Amino acid sequence: MKLILASGSPRRKNFLTEYGYEFTVVPSTFDELGEKDTPKQTVEYFAYSKAQDVFEKLKNGDVVVLGADTIVCLDGEILGKPKDKIDAVKMLKKLSGKTHHVITAYAIISKYKKIIDSVTTAVTFNNLSDDLISEYVETGSPLDKAGSYGIQDGYNLVKEYKGSLNNVIGLPIEIIKPLLDKFLK
């Protein structure tokens, strides 16, 4: 079985590489529009749709496709990737001093079975100064990340987190690895 990553995320590629997987990247063209009843249902739908999109395109039964999607959720509101720097500043100000949840959903699909699930991590932000937010946003790093931040970016944004750090970065590899290994046998 050949592993296919249905994502262009450099963080997801890094996780799979670090854990010794050989894989091919085939980014999904699924358009993330609309929300389901809950943020968890929404992110699981997006992850599954991305994986299914790639699986159907390949039309090869000897593949395992991994799709994933990450959202930041504050008081029931989904904070996706910012549209621009102004949007990133608004999101970071909204998160400042508060606890939010990062939900990464994953879908693993083969011709034999599929798994769709998600992992949630609670993240509490420090109180962020306007200067810190401006400096961080000017790096451009927040622009391709859900909630406009990367916990791994080296800025003092996060006070604490409860749960999987890898989940916040974009792939709860410690949970996905045993599942992938079973699919790839």
Q: Both tokens of residue 111? A: 């011709």
CATH number at residue 72: 3.90.950.10
Domain count, the chain: 1
% of the chain residues with pLDDT over 70: 99
> pTM value?
0.92
Would you state the pLDDT for residue 1?
A: 87
* Residue 169 host element (H or E): helix 165-169
Q: How confident is the model at residue 32 (pLDDT cuts 50, 70, 90)?
A: confident
Residue 117 annotated as catalytic: no
Long-range contacts from 36-44, C-beta under 8 angstroms, 24+ separation: 39/71, 39/73, 39/76, 39/78, 39/101, 39/103, 40/103, 40/105, 40/118, 40/120, 42/71, 42/78, 43/69, 43/70, 43/71, 43/103, 43/104, 43/105, 43/118, 44/105, 44/107, 44/116, 44/117, 44/118
In the predicted structure, residue 60 carries a pLDDT above the cut 80: no
For range 16-28, the mean pLDDT? 96
CA distances from 101 to 15, 38, 58 (A): 21, 13, 34
Q: Is 161 helix (H, G, I), strand (E, B) or coil?
A: strand
Bridge partner list, 125: 158
Within 19-129, residue ranges assigned H as helices are: 39-58, 85-95
Q: DSSP string of 58-90?
A: H--TTEEEEEEEEEEEETTEEE-S-SSHHHHHH
Among the listed residues 31, 37, 62, 69, the single catalytic one is 69
Q: Both tokens of residue 137? A: 């946003």
Domain of 105 in residue numbering reads as: 2-184
pLDDT tens digit string along 63-81?
999 999 999 999 989 998 8
pLDDT tens digit string along 76-123?
899 988 999 999 999 999 999 999 999 999 999 999 999 999 999 999
